[in-house]
Each structure stands twice: as structure tokens, then as C-alpha cells.
Amino acid sequence: MIIVMKAGASPAEIKHVTRRIDELGYAAHLSEGTERTIIGVIGDERPLESATFEVMDGVEKTISILPPYKLASREWRRETTVVDVGTTKIGGQELAMMAGPCSVESRSQLLEIAHAVKEAGATMLRGGAYKPRSSPYSFQGMGVEGLEILAEAREQTGLAIVTEVMAPDKVDLVSEYADVLQIGARNMQNYALLLAVGKSSRPVLLKRGMMSTIEELLMSAEYILSAGNYNVMLCERGIRTFETYTRNTTDINAIPALKHLTHLPVIGDPSHGTGRWPLVAPVARALVAAGADGLIIEVHHDPEHALSDGAQSLKPERFAQLVRETRLIAEAVGRTV
């Protein structure tokens, strides 16, 4: 349920409503606009009478929210959320460009790529210090040393850092170095991790699970939002289908569908969606045309020798070309890069 307070409702009236919500065993989430305050009533599925609140001073009306994801829904917040990350505003007019290697492999490797993607037009640097791999024998990342290298790259380039966190007990550590906490596809329904990043102050990039529905993605976002962190971005990174030519199947439908259902920004990941570098640029262009608020692209200066995901990584010059192409498409759909 949403409780819409009257324009000019006093702090005491708002506090009285939130206290009543607490007494009934629900949680109150406030959204304070320029003209009025909206209070979201979040809790279990027990029926809640609208008359309980409509008779209270300062209340204009109540509105039932039908989707199970309450705080993530457009009914809760009509305008698109804009997430501030450094100098980048994700969800606004500007298209966010996140780029970098799948894994931090060495200091020289990351710094070279960081400077290259910065020059090409990236606004954020992606790179994995901890890598969840299908095989326990594959490269698992450099850990804390990788985080330190990412932080050095930020100092040199000014690019905000996006990196994955894999466990609740690593959230504080990764938050010391990262500007955005990425939740990978395999952890989309790791509810303990979702609640942990929900209690952090860092923006979160939540990737869709490879076999997850759009509603399941939004319910995972709801965990983060319900814990108090409203700076959440969703990422369409491809889902598993019967097709084997590509690594996954990029769900272009998900971009406009999510933009319709939720106020949260939506990022497209054509690297994991295709798994093949020649397909990355065409799919990236389609994602922008469909309304994505940004792209996250894997870039490597020597993909033939990359320790992970070399086959889907663009070389810096190809990434630069992609940025030039997306600028044209972004302008055609009313965005900028």
C-alpha cells in the first residue's frame, strides 16, 4: 500500500502515520517529494484496510500496490530513479558506459585498460577481484590485491569502480574500494547477500540470473530496497535458452519491459549476453535503442591471453568504435553519451 500525504502535511502528522504502521507490524518507507510525502507500507500479505489510514490527519489517500515487488514498482515511484556514481548519473539523460576486463590480472594489465577505456569515453571501470567460476580450477581472481589495483586505477583515471561482491562477509571490505557493488547472475537469489548490500551505502548493480524471470529479478531488487538501499541498478546480461551458438540469449524485451514495470535504471550487458566479441557491438546498439540506461562491456588489450572471458572481450580500439556508434543511437532516442 502507498499512503499519499497531503501537500503541507506536518512532520508530526507524518510521524504519527509511520508510528501506526510500525504498530501494525509493517515497515514504513518514506519518499519525500517537492510537494508531498509518500509512505510505502511494506510487509507480509495480510490484508490491510485503507480506512485505517485515510481517517488520519494529513493523509490524502491510499493506493494499493498489486505487484509483489512494492518498492521497485512504478506504482511506488513514477519518476525514474537516478543513481549518482561519482560524476555519472545513471538513469538520467546520459548513457552510462562501464568498461574493463572480466578479471583484474595484474597491475600493468588493469592500468593499461583503464586508461584506454577512459580515453575511449567510458565513465566507469569494471573489473573482477573475486571471480565466481564454473570450475574450481579456473582463475578465481586476485582478491584484496585486485581491489587495491582497482583503487589505484580510479586515482589515476577518475573512473568510478564497479566490482563484484560474492559473500555477505565481504561487503564491508569490497565497499572500502568499490563505488558500485555488483551482484553477479549466480548470486541474484543469494538473499543473505542481497540484504547485506541493502544495508550498505554503496550503489548496487544487480545482474539477472541466467534462468530467472523478470519478476524474480525485481523481487531480488526488493530485498535490497527493503533493507534501506535505494541506489539499485538492474542488469540484463542474457538468459539461458535452447540456443548454443551464443553463450546466452540477450533478452532485448527485458529492457522496455523493466522500464515499464520499475523506476530502477536498467543496464545492458552484451558481453555475457553473446559470449562472442563480433556480436557485442550489434547487440549493444540494440540495447541502447531499446532504452537501456547504460552498457557494461568487457574490454581487454590482449584477449587471446585473458585469464577469463577473452572470447567476449573487445579490444580498446573496438570499444572506442562502439562508443562512437552508441553516441549516434543515443541521440536518436533522446539520450547522450
CATH number, domain of 123, equals: 3.20.20.70
Residue in the structure block whose three cell numbers are 499519499: 4
Residues 156 and 25 placed together within one structural domain of the fold? no
Evaluate whether residue 74 is within a structural domain: no
pLDDT tens digits for range 193-238 = 999 999 999 999 999 999 999 999 999 999 999 999 999 999 999 9
> What pLDDT is attached to residue 324?
96
Residues 88 and 59 placed together within one structural domain of the fold? no
Evaluate whether residue 68 is within a structural domain: no
Integer Cα distance of 150 and 111 in angstroms: 8
Residues 131 and 36 placed together within one structural domain of the fold? no
Integer Cα distance of 189 and 172 in angstroms: 20
Residues 49 and 138 placed together within one structural domain of the fold? no
Residues 284 and 312 placed together within one structural domain of the fold? yes
> What pLDDT is attached to residue 35?
76
> What pLDDT is attached to residue 138?
72
Evaluate whether residue 31 is within a structural domain: yes
> What pLDDT is attached to residue 36?
81
Residues of the chain with pLDDT under 70: 45-47, 133-134, 137
Residues 9 and 148 placed together within one structural domain of the fold? no
Evaluate whether residue 72 is within a structural domain: no
Residues 229 and 309 placed together within one structural domain of the fold? yes
Residue in the structure block whose three cell numbers are 576486463: 101
- Whether the model clears a pTM of 0.85, i.e. scores above it, the answer is yes
Integer Cα distance of 126 and 142 in angstroms: 14
Integer Cα distance of 139 and 198 in angstroms: 29
Evaluate whether residue 76 is within a structural domain: no
> What pLDDT is attached to residue 133?
66
Evaluate whether residue 182 is within a structural domain: yes
Residues 138 and 182 placed together within one structural domain of the fold? yes
Integer Cα distance of 134 and 309 in angstroms: 12
Q: Which long-range contacts (CB under 8 A, 24 or more apart) does 248-251 make?
A: 248/210, 248/272, 248/273, 248/274, 248/275, 249/273, 250/274, 250/283, 250/286, 250/287, 251/208
> What pLDDT is attached to residue 64?
83
Residues 53 and 154 placed together within one structural domain of the fold? no
Q: How many CB atoms lie within 10 A of CB 161?
A: 25
Integer Cα distance of 269 and 172 in angstroms: 26
**Angle formed by the axes of helices 277-290 and 316-332, to 10°?**
20
Q: Which domain holds residue 52?
A: 2-63
